[in-house]
Chains A and B, each alone.
Chain A
Amino acid sequence: MKILVAIKRVVDYNVRVQVKPDGSGVATDGVKMSINPFDEIAIEEALRIKEQGKADEVVVVTIGNSDSQQQLRTAMAMGADRAVLVETDSAVQPLQAAQVLLKIIEEEQPGLVITGKQAIDDDNNQTPQMLATLWNRPQATFASQVEFTGDNKLNVTREVDAGLETIQVELPAVVSTDLRLNEPRFVKLPDIMKAKRKPLETKVLADVAPDLQGQMIEVLSHEAPQPRSKGVMVESVDELINILKDKGLVG
C-alpha cells in the first residue's frame, strides 16, 4: 500500500506574526517557514505505518511556490520516499487544494491519505474533509490513534469535544491528524544529505488541474486583534480576592 501525505509550508509556529500597517496581509518576508506542525505529525504517522510493514511507500505532496521544495526535502529527510510539488505562485483555498490533491490521488492511487487537521496560518480545517468528499471516501478527522484491523479497515480514535470517539473506516480513506497522534522524529544530518538524492517531481498547477471549480473567498483586509487593556500585578492573595469580589466574579 502507498500512503500519500499532504503537507503545507507555513510560518513557523513560534513566530508571532504581525499584520502589515496597510492591512494588506501579514509580514512574512524573512520570517522562518516550516512544515505545518500537524502535517509533520502526518508524515510521522505514515512513516510508522511503513515501519510496521503495513505500507511500502510514503509519498509527500504539497501545493505552493518553489520554496516549498525545502519542506518536501525535510519530509524526505524524515523518511518519506519521494515528493511531488504542485507549483503555483497564487494562494490556493481549501476547495481548490482538494481538487488538486484529488488529481494527484488519481495518479498515485494511494491506499491511505494522511494530512494535518488544519494549517496554522489560515486555521481553516477544511481541506482533508473536502478531499474525502470529492474522492467519495471516508474521513477520520482529528485522529489521536490509528489502528489497522484485519479486513482493510482502520479504527481511528478522534479527539472530539466530548472526549475520544472511535470510528471505523474502510480504506482508502483520508485521516487528518491531531496533536496527540505521535511525536514527530528529528531529522538527522546524514538523512538530510540522503534526502537530496530522493526524487522530487515538480508539476505546474495549471497542468495538473486546469479546470479548478468554485469561487475563491475574497479577503478584503487584515487587522491586528483588539489588544486587551493592561492588567495589574498584585502582591497577595488578599488583593487578588478583593479584585475578584469587586468585579462580582466570586461570592
Chain B
Amino acid sequence: MSKVLILAEHNGDTINQSTAKVLTAAKQLGADTIDVVLFANNAELAAQLATLAGINEVKFVASADNHDQLAASIAPAIAEMGKDYSHVWGPSTTFGKDVMPRVAALLGVNQVSDIMEIIDANTFKRPIYAGNAIITVKTDTPQIVATVRTASFAADKSTDGNATVSEHALSTAAEHTSFVELSSGNSDRPDLQTASKVISGGRGVGSEENFEIVYNLADKIGAATGASRAAVDAGYVPNDMQVGQTGKIIAPDLYMCFGISGAIQHLTGIKDAGTIVAINKDGDAPIFEVADVGLVGDLFKIIPEMMEKL
C-alpha cells in the first residue's frame, strides 16, 4: 500500500512541469493514492492541478504571497501532512532541493535525492559522482522522503483529472526568514528545463555580445538557450542558463552546443539528451566523446552558415 504526497511547484501563474514529472514517477511506483500539496495564494493553481489524472486530492494551503514559499515556513506543514503517507516526494529543482531535506529532517529520515529510476516502492536508482556512477538504494522508513530527477521522467500530460481540492491554512510561517525579491533572467524563449531543443554556448563564444548569434540560431529553430559554467562565470549570460551538475540537468531531444569543451560537470547535465551535437574548434575536446554528431570548426563561421541553410 503506497500513498504518495507530492509537493507542487509553481511560479505564481502556472504549475511547474516538474510537478507533472513527479506525478509520472509516483504512477510508476504503482501508488494507491496520490495527493498533492500546493502552497499559493492563487486558487486557480489548485484548479490547474486538479485536472491532472491520477491525483486524488489537492491540498491547497493558502499562503500570503506566491513567491513566499520559504522552506522554513512550508516544511513543517508538509512534514505534518506527510505522516499519513508512505512517500513524500518533491521535484529535484532548486525549490525541491531547498525544502525536501527540511521535511526529511522533521520526519527523522535521510532523503533519497534525485531518483532516476524506480525499482519498487522501497528501491530506487540515483546518480552519484556527477552521474559517473549509479547506485541502487533501499530504504524502508515509514515515510520515504525523496526528490525526483526531472530529466528522468516525462511530464504527465493528462487533462481529464477530477481531483478534490481541500483548503488548509499555513500556521507555521517562519519569522526568522523573509522573502525580499526575485530577479529573473526571464526571456521569451522556451523554458530550458522543458524545451525539446536546447542550444548552448560556452567560453568559446567569447563575449556577451557574441552570444547574440547563439540566440539567433535558437530562435530560428525554436530552441531554449543554455550555457556552460565558464560562460556564466565570464558574465556572458545569467546563472539560470547554466547546464550541469550544479546548474540544470536537462534531457531535450536535441542538445546542440557551441564552444563547450565538455567538463565532467557539464556532461552530467546533458547525458540524457536524445541527440547531442557538438561544434568546437578543438578536435580533441572531451565533448566529442559523448556527442552523437560532431563538427570541428569555428562557430562564428558555422552558425551563420546554419542560419542561411536552415
Contacts and interface: CB of A to CB of B under 8 A. Distances in A.
A88 B95 CA distance: 33
> Interface on chain A toward B: helix, strand, loop, or mixed SS?
mixed
Contacts of A179: 229, 233, 246
A47 interface: no
Nearest to B103: A133
A140 B290 CA distance: 36
What's the interface size class on A, roughly?
A: 35 or more
B169 interface: no
Contacts of B293: 231-234, 240, 243-244
Nearest to B192: A161
A1 interface: no
Interface in A113-147: 117-118, 120-127, 129-130, 132-134, 137-142, 144
8 contacts: A122-B128, A163-B182, A163-B240, A179-B246, A215-B140, A220-B136, A228-B292, A231-B291
B243 to A, nearest CB: 12
Contacts of A144: 239
Contacts of B291: 231
Interface string A169-182: 11001000011100
A250 B71 CA distance: 41
B11 A162 contact: yes
Contacts of B221: 250-251
A231 B182 CA distance: 41
Interface in B173-219: 174, 176-186, 193, 197
Interface stretch (B28-36, B39-47, B155-163, B271-279): B271-279
Contact of A129 (B105, B127, B248): B105
Given A16-B264, A162-B182, A167-B177, A219 B101 contact: no
Given A219-B136, A229-B292, A237-B302, 20 more contacts: A19-B133, A118-B246, A123-B127, A124-B113, A125-B113, A133-B101, A159-B94, A161-B248, A166-B183, A170-B177, A179-B229, A216-B110, A219-B135, A220-B135, A222-B135, A224-B132, A233-B295, A234-B293, A240-B293, A241-B309
A91 B176 CA distance: 33
B103 to A, nearest CB: 9
Interface of A: 11, 13-14, 16-17, 19, 26, 93-96, 98, 117-118, 120-127, 129-130, 132-134, 137-142, 144, 155, 158-170, 173, 178-180, 213-225, 228-229, 231-238, 240-241, 243-244, 247, 249-251
Contact of B184 (A133, A162, A173): A162
What's the interface size class on B, roughly?
A: 35 or more
B66 to A, nearest CB: 12
Contact of B72 (A13, A98, A132, A228): A132
Contacts of A173: 176
A233 B296 contact: yes
B102 A139 contact: yes
B292 A232 contact: yes
A89 to B, nearest CB: 19
Interface in B73-127: 75, 93-95, 97-102, 104-106, 108-114, 123, 127
B288 interface: yes
B110 A215 contact: yes
Nearest to B98: A141
A224 B276 CA distance: 20
Interface in B259-299: 264-265, 271, 274-277, 288, 290-296
A195 to B, nearest CB: 28
B253 interface: yes
Contacts of A213: 108
Q: Pick the most buried of A142, A159, A216, A235: most chain B CB atoms within 10 A of its CB.
A: A159
A130 B11 contact: no
A250 B296 CA distance: 20
Contact of B109 (A117, A215, A220): A215
B14 interface: no
A164 B183 contact: yes
B260 to A, nearest CB: 15
Contacts of A163: 182-186, 238-240
B139 interface: yes
A228 B114 CA distance: 21
